[in-house]
Amino acid sequence: MEAIMDWVKDAPAAAVVIGALLALVLVYTVLRRIRRGVRRAIRNNPVSRALRQTGEIAGIIRAADMNAQLTPKSVSGGDSIHLPRILKDYPQFNVDLAKSVVENCIRDIFNALHSGDMSAFQEKYNDKVYAQCGMFLQRYGRITVTGLRVHRTAISDYTKHYGSSTIKFQTAFQYETAGGKDGKRINQERFETGYTFKVKDKEGGSSAALRCGHCGAPVARLGDKSCAYCGNEVILDLEQAWEITDINIK
């Protein structure tokens, strides 16, 4: 009986404590709901969505740019198609040497861009290729080029004309310039180069027509060993040479 009387005396204090606890729970619940609502509102706010999308787009652009820097350009690999035709017409043709000549021309172009001086380039190539190099200099300006690396050179086409033949090579390569995050930027390029077999007379002029030295009949193609009209061996008193005649960004 005495214990009951003590509980009755302490009941108001206990009620106060319980009420306070319930109030704290209620306040916590309300604040939690308000916090969730604020977060939801911020998340769904047009400005917030735009900022998130902008960040995502910027990340996509950065990833695409890095991929572009590290991925070599593709080239038309036509060696297996065109090389047998070339060797049929020119059995002594050295494809590895030809590719080396083409790649060295690209190096010479970027050396000219690096130095801003095209005099050495002019001494090695004809007027058309020299003019094309000048166009590259106008396009790029004088740039500091490092890390020039050739990925691959392949035959993309082969055409024959009367008195000459042209092989098209595509070359994928990369080089570095200033301006990237670490001070350098990797650039991937692809050039297409025309490598032409030209017939020249002893004075260096182009020969418009090839004729048999015995009967004077026209020779159908440079690879012919005998005249189709008189049957005699075709001997051309001409200087024959391959040279780069055209180069362009592809």
Q: How would DSSP label each residue in 14-63?
A: HHHHHHHHHHHHHHHHHHHHHHHHHHHHHHHSHHHHHHHHHHHHHHHHHH
More confident residue, 155 or 109: 155
The pLDDT, as a whole number, for residue 34 is: 73
Q: What is the reported pLDDT for 8?
A: 47
Q: Tell me how crowded residue 122 is: count the other CB atoms within 10 A of its CB.
A: 16
pLDDT surpasses 60 at 231: yes
From CA 35, how far away is CA 168, in angstroms rounded? Answer: 68
- Tokens linked to 223: 């690879």
118-165 tens-digit pLDDT? 888 888 888 888 888 888 877 776 677 777 889 999 999 999 876 678
- What predicted TM-score, i.e. pTM, was given to this entire model? 0.64
What is 75-249's CATH topology? Nuclear Transport Factor 2; Chain: A, (3.10.450)
pLDDT of 207 higher than 60: no
97: exposed, middle or buried (C-beta count within 10 Å: 0-12, 13-18, 19+)?
exposed
Distance set, CA 75 to CA 154, 190, 192 (Å) = 7, 8, 9
- CB–CB of 112/121 below 8 Å? yes
pLDDT tens per residue across span 49-88? 655 566 666 666 666 666 766 788 888 888 999 999 999 8
